[in-house]
Structure 1
Amino acid sequence: MFDNLKSSSRLAIGALVAVTAAWGATFIVVQDAVSRMPVMDFLAVRFCLAALVMIAIRPQSLRGMGSPGFKRAAVLGLALGLGYITQTFGLQHASAAVSGFITGMFVVLTPVVSWLVLKRKTGANVWWAVILATIGLAVLSLNGWSIGIGELLTLLCAIFFAFHIVGLGEWSSKHDVYGLAVLQISFVGILSLVAALPGGLTLPPDSGVWGAVVITALVATAFAFVIQTWAQSLVSATRAAVIMTMEPVFAGFFAVVLAGDRLTLRIVIGGALVLAAMLLTELKSKPKPGQMLASSVPNVAGGLEVGNAVSTTEN
C-alpha cells in the first residue's frame, strides 16, 4: 500500500505532524460528543465504523495473520481500548488542554514500562525526565492536595498507552502493518461494544455527533493509525518522538482557540514541564544501530496514538 513511498522520509515527517494536529483537535470534538452521547456508545460506534471501513478497503490484509497475530492483536487491542476508555471518561471531568498534556506522558512512561517488562536498561536522564514530568503533572492537575478523577483517569490512559507502545514495538515487525492495525481497532470496537450493551447501544442523536464519530473514526483512527505506523518505518525513533510531542501542544492550542479555554499560567508552566520531560527522554536517548524497536504510540482522545520507539539501551 505504501511501497511507492518508502523513500520519502520528508513526507513521513509531514504526515506525522499533520496526524498530531488532528489528534490534538479531536480532544475538543470528543469532549463535545460525549456530553450528548454515552462514552461507551460513542467509542463502540467510532471504532466499529473505523474497523469496517478498513476491512472494506483491504480485506486481504487479514489473511496470513495466523493465530499468533490474532492473539497479539487482542492483547494490544485490550491495552489500546482501556487507554481510550479511561481517556474519554477523563475528558468528562478535565479540560481538553489538561487531558492532552497528561496523555502526552506516555512518551515518558514508555521507557519505564520497557524497563519493568522487558528489562531494558534506562539511563539516568530518563529518570530525571520522569521526575520532571511528575512535577509538570502536579502543576497541571493538583487541586490543593488532591488529584481530580479526570486527571487520574487520564494518567491511567497514559499508562495503558505506554504498555501498548512497548507491545507493538515487540510485535509490529512480525506481522502485516495494515492487518495488525485492523485487528487492534476491531478489538477496541468489540471491547467498547461489550461495555455499552448492558445499558443498550445508543446511536449518535444528531448530525453533529454523527460528524464527530465519522471524523474520529476515519481521520483520527483508521487513517491516522495506518499513517503513523507507516511513518515509523521511515523516521528514526528520536525524530518521531520529537514530532510526537507536538500532540499535546496542538491539544492545548485548539482548546484555547476553539473551545475558549483560558490559558492560565498554571497550564503554561505545567505543560512546558511535561514537554521538556518528553524532549529530555527522547533527545538524550542514543540507541545503538540495530537496537531500536519501532513502536506505535497511542494517541489522545481523538485519535490513535502517535508512534514512538523504545531503544534496548537508553543512555
Structure 2
Amino acid sequence: MKKTALADISLLFVAFIWGSTFVIVQKAIQFLPPHFFNGTRFLLAALLLFIFMKKKSKFSINLLGAGMFLGVFLFLGYAFQTIGLLYTTSSKAGFITGLSVMIVPLFAIWILKDKPRSIVFLSAFIGALGLYFLTVGDMMSMNIGDLLVFFCAIAFALHIIFTSKFSSKHEAIPLTIVQLSTVSLLSFISSTMFEKTSFSYDALFNRDVIIALVITSIFATAIAFLIQTKFQQFTTAARVALIFAMEPVFAALTAFIVINERLSGNGLIGCLLIFIAMIVTELPDIKEIKGIKQKHGM
C-alpha cells in the first residue's frame, strides 16, 4: 500500500475517533471542569507514549521548541472546544470545528506560501453561510458555545498547518509527547487560575469521567496525535483538513445514536452547507481544469 493511501486511511480513523468522542467528553465535563479534564487527559496520554518510546529517541532543543509551539495551538483548540461543549450541542460543535477544513487552505497561502486558489474563497463563503444557518439561523442568536468552538476551529487549523511544517523534521513519538505535555501543563495552569472551587476530586471516580478519560487519553489523544504527527508528512495540510471534515459527520451520528440529539431544519441546512464547503475546498480551479485539458489535448 502506498504511503499516501495508508496516511489517508489512518487520518480518517483519527477523524472517526475524534468525532465519536464528542458525546463522551460532553458527559464527563458535567462532573469535571474542562481545563482539569484536559490536563488529566493529555498527561495520561503523554505518559503512555513515553512508556513506549524507543530508548534511542532524543529530545533536541529544536524538537522541544517545535513541540511546545504545536502544543500551544493544540491547547487553545481543546480549551475552546471543551468549554464550548458546556453551552452548545455535540452535533453543532462537530460541524463548527469542521470549518477548519476551509481555514487551513487560507492560512496555507499566508504561512506555507501555497498558491492562492479562487475555489478556496468560494468554499469560505459557503461555509460562512452554513455557519449562519447552524448558529444564528438555528437559534436566533449566536450561542457563546458556538463562538468558542469557532475559535477552536481556527486554533486546530493552525495546528494542522504547523504540523505539516514540523512533522517531517522530527521523530513522531518525542514530538507528540512534547505537544501533549504542553497541553497538559497549560490546562492545569488554567484550571488553577479559573477553576479553583468548581469541583471535587471525588469526581475523578465518577463512572462517566473514568470512561471518558480512558477512551480519550488512549485513543483520542495518544494514538490519534501520534498517527497525525507520523502520517501528515506524507500528504498536504489541505488534504488532511479535508479528511478531518468527516469528524463532524461522525460526531452527529454518534450524538444521534447515543443521546438521540437532533438538529432543527435550519441546523441541518447549515450542516449540509458546511459539508459542501469542505468538499468544494479540494475541487480544482477553472485554470487547473483548463491546464489538465491542454495537457491531454482536449
State if a TM-score over 0.5 links the two structures: yes
Aligned pairs for 1:5-154 (under 5 A) are 7=2, 10-58=5-53, 60=55, 62-63=57-58, 65-142=59-136, 146-154=141-149
Change (3 A) 1:240 1:82: closer
Aligned to 1:193: 188
The alignment-based identity, stated in percent, is: 36
Q: TM-score, normalising length from structure 2?
A: 0.86
Change (3 A) 1:174 1:148: same
Distance 2:245 2:23 in 1: 18
Contact 1:256 1:263 in 2 (8 A): no
- 1:138-162 C-alpha deviation (Å, 9 max, x unpaired): 1101156631100000000001111
Q: Runs of 5+ in structure 2 lacking a partner? A: 289-298
Specify which structure has the higher proportion of helix: 2
Aligned to 2:160: 165
Q: Secondary structure at the match of 2:158?
A: helix
Contact 2:95 2:271 in 1 (8 A): yes
Contact 1:61 1:176 in 2 (8 A): no
Contact 1:104 1:247 in 2 (8 A): yes
Aligned to 1:277: 277
**Mean alpha-carbon deviation: is it higher for 238-247 or for 272-281?**
238-247
**Mean alpha-carbon deviation: is it higher for 138-147 or for 181-190?**
138-147
Distance 1:44 1:31 in 2: 16
Q: Secondary structure at the match of 1:218?
A: helix
Q: Secondary structure at the match of 1:147?
A: coil
1:176 matched to 2:151: no
Quick check: which has more Rg, 1 or 2? 2
Distance 1:206 1:69 in 2: 37
Q: How far apart are 1:227 and its partner, in Å?
A: 2.0
Change (3 A) 1:233 1:79: closer
Q: Runs of 5+ in structure 1 lacking a partner? A: 1-5, 289-315
Aligned amino acid, residue 163 of structure 1: L
Distance 1:185 1:284 in 2: 36
- 1:143-188 C-alpha deviation (Å, 9 max, x unpaired): 5663110000000000111111111111111111221111101100
Change (3 A) 1:33 1:193: same
Q: Secondary structure at the match of 1:245?
A: helix
Aligned to 1:230: 230
Aligned amino acid, residue 110 of structure 1: V
Change (3 A) 1:180 1:137: same
Q: How far apart are 1:283 and its partner, in Å?
A: 3.3
Q: How far apart are 1:106 and its partner, in Å?
A: 0.8
Contact 1:242 1:283 in 2 (8 A): no
**Mean alpha-carbon deviation: is it higher for 200-209 or for 115-124?**
200-209
Change (3 A) 1:61 1:71: farther
Specify which structure has the higher proportion of strand: 1
Contact 1:36 1:205 in 2 (8 A): no
Matched length: 281
Change (3 A) 1:79 1:145: same
Aligned to 2:253: 253
Distance 2:61 2:68 in 1: 11
Q: TM-score, normalising length from structure 1?
A: 0.82
Contact 2:80 2:148 in 1 (8 A): yes
Distance 1:37 1:272 in 2: 33
